[in-house]
Structure 1
Amino acid sequence: MSDTFADSRTMIGRSLRLTSRNAEALTMSLMLPIMLMLVFVYLFGGAINTGTTYVTYVTPGIILLCAGFGASMTAVSVSKDMTGGIIDRFRSRDISGAAILAGHVAASVARNLASTVLVFGVAFLIGFRPAAGLVDWLAALGILLAFILAISWLSAAAGLLAKTPEGANGFTFVVMFVPYASSAFVPVDTMPSWIRGFAENQPITPVIESIRGLLLDTPVGSTPWVALAWCGGILVVSIVASAALFKRRTS
């Protein structure tokens, strides 16, 4: 058990170093939140009626959109490891697959927490004023962390499933599309009926509604539990799938 923890710490350090050395990807993951926030608030916000200032409404959606993009980079990193020969070296030193994947997931969480801080910083500068107390803030951050962890493990599974890093990169487009078909940028009840059902019953919407409600101190009902159930389900399925796919790829 101690060897597993030691290996995990080593792999986490490796993944964080690789992230810091990939200047292009790191810059994009940190600058994308700022660019998206400014584009949506200043270019689109004036035309969208949400019942409140648009920056207040859209901030949780921007956070989750950027979290999805940051996590999707994990798929590419895992795929590069699987196709680059480094896995054979790790396995020759008896490093477990769980430790290797945990390193990639930890780096994803770190990237996304950094982008979250940037989103909140820019949002505060341009008018975001949450009404949350300490408990609500902690609850919102807990739900966000659960989502980031789940989507990061899902990305790791996608990287193991893809045959090439280029194929794994396609996961980025899927993850970045789903938030648009949710309550991230416009209220769901303004959507056509044929897409409203999907928007109301996919995992992004309860996560966003929970974070938005907690930060704005509005009633959330059972929505946070629905969000956590989605995150927990995705996390469990992704970890099991990752273990099976890693075993298949390295057997």
Structure 2
Amino acid sequence: MRKQGFLLLMLVLAASFKLLANEPTAVWQGKASAVSLTYDDALGSHLDTVAPQLQHYGFLATFYVVINSAHFYQRLEDWRKLAVAGHELGNHTLFHPCNGKLPGREWVRAEHDLSTWSVARYQQELQVANTTLAALDGRTQRTFAFPCGDLKAGETSFLPLLPQYFIGARGVESGVNLPKQTDPYMLKLFDATNLQIAQIGPLLDSAKGSYAIFMFHGVGGDHPLNTELEVHQALLAELARRQDSIWVAPVVEVLASMAKAH
């Protein structure tokens, strides 16, 4: 009798562990983890270098677009093609406003200095950027990325505005996002600036059972925050090698899947 009780306990524990191990697969399209590749500021390298590499591997990504970027408004048809292919055009505002009073922010133009803005003005920034993107891609759902990681206009948080316009937002805090513990409006990330090839495997290993977001700016040297071209290529190749266990998708798709599962 005691032996039967022990066996029953082992069966219950095994079933429990199996359920725990399988829980993320219901969230991430049958995979153990999810990864989103995100690219900020609407740069030329995103269209000319990143997009062809993504297409080669069949990956879809999120491009956080600054509407006032010359590489955006001068190449609208190229961005439209990205959206048609299934990539997300995320909102990164009209003018990339940041708090110019913080150290190292001497580059912030006076008219784009968040420390002087009201929340109402920031709301207009979000609205017009969303309207512009919707005119380009026809979509009603998208996500947001905080320029410079700033969360206030003047002295007031604009975070309460976000659910009106987005299903989630990528922050700047480092880390992974766990099922049922993730704030969709403050998603954590891995900053890929100066990423090294030797770091790729360990980073992906550390993200098992979670949702990881990689943040890129320049790829190949067209931005001070840069990821070397061969490193970007190596990351995509490693993600392709792990496709049986990692779902690679735009942020908007992963958040929609997580919301549906819960």
Regarding TM over 0.5, the answer is no
Q: Which has the higher Rg, Structure 1 or Structure 2?
A: 2
Q: Is the strand fraction higher in 1 or 2? A: 2
What TM-score does the superposition give when structure 2 sets the normalisation length?
0.28
The structure where helix makes up a greater share of residues is 1
